[in-house]
Structure formats: C-alpha cells, structure tokens
A and B are shown apart, each in its own frame.
Chain A
Amino acid sequence: MSGMMLAIQGALGQGILWGIMGLGIYLTFRILDIADLSVDGTFALGGCTCAALMVRAGMDPYLAVLLSTAAGMAAGFVTGILYTKCEIPAILAGILTQLGLYSVNLRIMDKSNTPFLKVDTIFKQLVDGTGLSQSWVSLLAGCVVAFALVGVLYWFFGTELGSAIRATGTNENMARSQGMNTNTYKILGLALSNGMVALSGALVSQHQGYADVKQGMGAIVIGLASIIIGEVILGHKTNFAMKLVSVLVGSCIYRIIVAVVLQLGLSTDDLKLLTAVLVALALSAPVLLEKRRRAASYSEAGEEERHA
C-alpha cells in the first residue's frame, strides 16, 4: 500500500476514536445549545487518568477507561454547577474548568507526559488476540464503541429524561413552565457530554501510546469541525441517529484532510492554524453565501415588473 493509503487508513481509526468526543460535543453544542469549553480539559483528563491508572496503578485497561469516563463526568458536573447554580456564563464556566483541569491533570500523572510502556493497552491486547494490524484494530474497536454509543444516545434522547434535556436546550421557558428543573438537566447534559469526551481521550491516549497534559488543546474546535463537516456532507434534514453518525463521518473526514495535508508536506506545527481556518470557513461560508445570493438577487424594480 502506498504511504498515502496507509495514512488514510490510520486516519479513519483516529477519526472514529476522536468522533466519540464529537458525539459528546454534539450533546452540548447542538442539543443543549451550550458552547462548553471544558472539553479541552476533560479530553486530556480522560487520557491522563487512564495513563495514571494503568501505568502507575497497574489497572486493567478497560476498567481504567471506565473510571476515566467517570472522571470526565465529574468535571462536566463542576462546569454545570458553575454555569447553573453560580450563574457564570457558559463559556467562562467551561474555561474555568478547563484551566483548573490542567493542574489536575499534572497532579494525576505527576508529570506532563506518560507513555504506556510495559502495559498492555486495549489495542495491543486486540492486536495480539486477533492478529490484525494496529490500524484495523483501532478502526474496528472504535466503530464498536462509537456505534454502541450512537445506539444508547438514540434510545436515551427518546426517553422522558432525554426529551426533557432536549426541551431544555430548545426552549428553557417552555421547559420550566412544564415543570422541568432546567438546571438539573443542564448539569446532567454537561456531565454526560464530558464523560464521552473523557472516554474518547482515554481511548485516543491508549491508541497513540501515551497521555499528555496538552493533548486536549483545541479539542473543542476539532469536535466542532467534525460536527460541521458531518452536517455539510449528510445534511441537516436527517433523523437523529443519522445526525449522530454524521458526527463520526465528519470526524473521519477531518482526520483524512489532516493526513493528506501532512503527507503533502505540511508541518504538524501548522495543524492548529489549519483546523482553526477550516472551522472558521465552514461556519462563515453559509452566512457569506446567503448574503451574496441576496445581494445578487436584489433589484430596484418590483417583482411583477421584473417578470413582465
């Protein structure tokens, strides 16, 4: 296989693992209508917790992922309390959690980087067990987790509780007047979202072979890129399950774009700028196009005159 094909195959595996984070961000950004910036911190928290538990405490990799997810939920809970009970604006509440988590992550690992040396990660176990290549294993394992999550989310948002969270995100006034404690649902949503983000962080760390306190930098933007790319590709007018799948697809496409430009010789240092530009373009393109269309279709003559 050519270098490019190998790079793309690796990108798909990465894309699906990072896509789990995208699902978490979708919950806050699209369903609750909150831009939650704690994500950068909780993604790293997931990786760091997982690394500390496995390397320093010798814990089973699956159990470590589970506990990392719980840690992420706790961080989301903190953001939720700051946002609802303390009435700190959502963006600032997220930034506070994110900043605090940097120190927390350093404390958890006791250093800024922990390689998974001498421990069996989930992926290593699967490679040894199945004889498949690392990139196939990560793609398949990632798909199992990601699609299981899509199924659970699809079910959850059809329940009374899930419907209440959706109503809270759509119209808080309506939610309260129908007896919903909107603060509780926001906190719950933020906790679930950050749990998924940390889960993704833990899996990505195991996949790349190390955890780093800086691994969450720009995670929120990457998540948004996945959501937006997915929406552009699969459209807005699909059902809920397809919307979730489109986040995963978007995440894979993002990784492929990154892999291709790296193959073409772009430095990894420039990746963050590329991501920022990509997201800015994707967010602004529909607005700018609509403005141009309206300006182009304007005429001083009335409608009937023009058609006559």
Chain B
Amino acid sequence: MLKISHVSKTFNKGTVNEKKALTDIRLHLEKGDFVTIIGGNGAGKSTLMNMVAGVYPMDCGTIFLDGVNLSREPEYKRAALLGRVFQDPMMGTAASMQIEENLALAARRGRRRGLRWGVTREERARYHEELKRLGLGLEERMTAKVGLLSGGQRQALTLLMATLKEPKLLLLDEHTAALDPKTARKVLELTDEIVTGRHLTAMMVTHNMKDAIAIGNRLVMMSEGRIIYDVKGEEKKRLKVADLLAKFEEASAGAFANDRMLLS
C-alpha cells in the first residue's frame, strides 16, 4: 500500500543549523497495516509523516501510495489520498466554521469544489449519524462553531473528518499528546475502533510506549533519522515496555536523555 524508498531530508543544508532529519528511510506498509512509530525527540518521526503528507519537499527518494507516485506532488493534491490528524487540536479544524461545514469540507477532499451547496440536506443526516458514533453529543450541536469545542472534541472531530472519505493512508501525528489523560484515552479508543474496524492503513506517532505496543499490528522505532527497529504480528504482541527501553538505550548508546520516554 505504502512504499517509502531511500527517503532523506536535511534541513537548512549548508548552514550552521544543518540538521539531518531523515537518512535513507525504507518502509513498506501492507494494506490494513496499523503502524505505531516511537522514538525520542528529533528522531524524525514527525518529519517522516510530513514527508508522506508533502508538507515540505524531500531531498531524495520516492513515496508510492497505492501505486501512485506522490514524491513530487504538492500537499493539497496528496491530501486526496490521505487523512491527517495533528498534535495541535487547533490545526485540523476551521474554528470560525460550523461543525457540519467542517465535515462537508472534509467530505469533498480530493473532489472539485464548485458552485453546489456547501452542505446538503442528505449530508446533514449522514453527519448526524457519524457524530453520534463519537458519543460526545456533537450531533446535537451541528451548527455550532468548532471554536467553541474543547480540545478533545476538536480532535475527535478531526479524526472523523480525516476518515469521512476513506483515506488510503491515515497519518496520526501524536494526536493525543495535547489532551488530558482521560480525553486522550477516549480519542485513542476511537482511533483504534475506526482504524481496526474499517481496516484502514495507518501510521501513528506516539510517545506512549504502552499505547505503541497495545495498538496496531506493527511497531517502528526511530532514532536520529533512521528506522532502528521494526516488528509486527506475534512478535510485537509479546513486546514489553522494558524491551523497548532496552532497544532505545542500545540505539542511543547509553546516553538516555529523553525524559518523555522515561515517563511513559
């Protein structure tokens, strides 16, 4: 489904701030793969997601999604095949627009936008059902401005928007990191329900190692712009947090400096 080959990215090339973010990344995802990605700060997890989404151009390599070469396509064109949820709950929704308008914008991802109505009556009925499934009561507030919602509600809505039109690949970039523990749990459960229930192909960056092990069928660990560990299936299920910590320590040669990893 997703084929990332020899992708590298260096920021601020040729300056004192040069930062090698990704080095020769190779990653192949099968259809229905749900990969969790872990790694310390600056390991290249978010950069990898942004490379796939086309936020900035990559230096070399290719990315194919469902047979389509995305390598040099602009962000808005790739969006037709992708669903994305960001770390910042403010980023994925338009605050000054209504809940149903946000959903309608998402439902038209990858389609020509013309002079037809922005939200139709049939759509409203469908959105009502979809929102009901989130279990947050948003179906009763469909004409409320999204800016009035809490971070967790906005994140759940973004998740719904990302999957309203079935994406070939769902990108979740630490999408529960900015939420309180209880809300984070709820959004994570929703994510698992949607991705597993609909057999979506997904990549999820997380700092929570327990979640990384419990969710999905595959786990990738990154360090200094490289993939240093890649497990799936039964082997992944048997993983313990201690194993990951050991792996991580090994990779960073004992210099275990990342407090966020320790805390999880």
Q: Give residues in A with beta carbon < 8 Å to B.
A: 156, 158-164, 166-167, 170-171, 173-182
A171 to B92, CA, bound (A): 8
Which one, A163, A175, A179, contacts B118 given CB within 8 A? A163
Q: Is the interface of B mostly helix, strand, loop or mixed?
A: loop
Q: Does B93 contact A (CB under 8 A)?
A: yes
Residue of A171, A173, A178 with highest tally of chain B CB at under 10 A: A178
Contact string against A for B residues 170-185, beta-carbon threshold 8 Å, 1 for contact and 0 otherwise:
0000000000000000
Supposing A179-B79, A182-B76 touch, asked if A167 and B94 sit within 8 A by C-beta, the answer is: yes
Q: Is the CB of A174 within 8 A of B91?
A: yes
Q: Which A residues lie within 8 Å of B119 (CB)? A: 163
Which one, A158, A167, A182, contacts B105 given CB within 8 A? A167
Q: Is the CB of A178 within 8 A of B79?
A: yes
A180 to B161, CA, bound (A): 14
A222 to B167, CA, bound (A): 47
Q: Which A residue sits closest to B90, measured CB to CB?
A: A171
Supposing A171-B91, A177-B53, A179-B110 touch, asked if A163 and B105 sit within 8 A by C-beta, the answer is: yes
Contact string against A for B residues 37-77, beta-carbon threshold 8 Å, 1 for contact and 0 otherwise:
00000000000000001000000000000000000001111
A167 to B146, CA, bound (A): 12
Q: Which A residue sits closest to B109, measured CB to CB?
A: A179
How far is the CB of A255 from the nearest CB of chain B, in Å? 30
Q: Is the CB of B79 within 8 A of A164?
A: no
Which one, B79, B86, B90, B118, contacts A162 given CB within 8 A? B118
Q: Which A residues lie within 8 Å of B261 (CB)? A: none
A174 to B108, CA, bound (A): 13
Q: Select the stretch in B21-29, B95-103, B229-237 that faces chain A.
A: B95-103
Q: Is the CB of A160 within 8 A of B101?
A: no
Closest 4 CB pairs of A and B: A179-B79, A163-B118, A160-B113, A179-B109
| 30 A-B pairs in the complex with CB atoms less than 8 angstroms apart | A159-B114, A159-B117, A160-B114, A160-B116, A160-B117, A160-B118, A161-B114, A161-B115, A164-B113, A167-B94, A170-B96, A171-B90, A171-B91, A173-B91, A174-B93, A175-B94, A175-B105, A176-B79, A177-B53, A177-B75, A177-B79, A177-B92, A178-B108, A179-B108, A179-B110, A179-B111, A180-B76, A180-B105, A180-B113, A181-B74
How far is the CB of B177 from the nearest CB of chain A, in Å? 17
A166 to B82, CA, bound (A): 22
How far is the CB of B127 from the nearest CB of chain A, in Å? 14
Q: Does B214 contact A (CB under 8 A)?
A: no
Q: Is the CB of A164 within 8 A of B95?
A: no
Supposing A163-B104, A179-B79, A180-B113 touch, asked if A174 and B92 sit within 8 A by C-beta, the answer is: yes
Which one, B77, B116, B118, B161, contacts A178 given CB within 8 A? B161
How far is the CB of A179 from the nearest CB of chain B, in Å? 4
Q: Which B residue sits closest to A171, measured CB to CB?
A: B94
A161 to B90, CA, bound (A): 23
User: How many residues of B sit at the interface, in one of the four size bands?
Assistant: 20 to 34
Q: Which A residues lie within 8 Å of B84 (CB)? A: 177
Q: Which A residue sits closest to B108, measured CB to CB?
A: A160
Q: Does B7 contact A (CB under 8 A)?
A: no
A173 to B86, CA, bound (A): 10
Q: Is the CB of A164 within 8 A of B76?
A: no
A166 to B86, CA, bound (A): 21
Q: Which B residue sits closest to A156, measured CB to CB?
A: B115
Q: Is the CB of B80 within 8 A of A170?
A: no
Q: Is the CB of B75 within 8 A of A176?
A: yes
Q: Does B4 contact A (CB under 8 A)?
A: no
Beyond the given A159-B114, A160-B108, A161-B113, could you list 4 further A-B residue pairs with CB under 8 A, ordered by the A residue number? A158-B117, A163-B118, A163-B119, A170-B96
Q: Is the CB of A178 within 8 A of B109?
A: yes
How far is the CB of B75 from the nearest CB of chain A, in Å? 5
Q: Is the CB of A179 within 8 A of B94?
A: no
A4 to B108, CA, bound (A): 55
Q: Which B residues lie within 8 Å of A174 (CB)? A: 91-94
Supposing A177-B75, A178-B106 touch, asked if A160 and B97 sit within 8 A by C-beta, the answer is: no
Q: Which A residues lie within 8 Å of B75 (CB)? A: 176-177
Q: Is the CB of A171 within 8 A of B95?
A: yes
A158 to B213, CA, bound (A): 45
Q: Which B residues lie within 8 Å of A177 (CB)? A: 53, 75, 79, 82, 84, 86, 92
Q: Which A residues lie within 8 Å of B79 (CB)? A: 176-180
Q: Which B residue sits closest to A157, measured CB to CB?
A: B118
A175 to B95, CA, bound (A): 12
Supposing A159-B117, A160-B118, A163-B101 touch, asked if A171 and B76 sit within 8 A by C-beta, the answer is: no
Supposing A166-B94, A166-B97 touch, asked if A181 and B76 sit within 8 A by C-beta, the answer is: yes
Q: Which A residues lie within 8 Å of B92 (CB)? A: 173-174, 177
How far is the CB of B106 from the nearest CB of chain A, in Å? 5
Q: Which B residues lie within 8 Å of A180 (CB)? A: 76, 79, 105, 113
Q: Which A residue sits closest to B110, measured CB to CB?
A: A179
How far is the CB of A77 from the nearest CB of chain B, in Å? 19
Supposing A170-B96, A179-B80 touch, asked if A164 and B105 sit within 8 A by C-beta, the answer is: yes
Q: Which B residues lie within 8 Å of A162 (CB)? A: 118
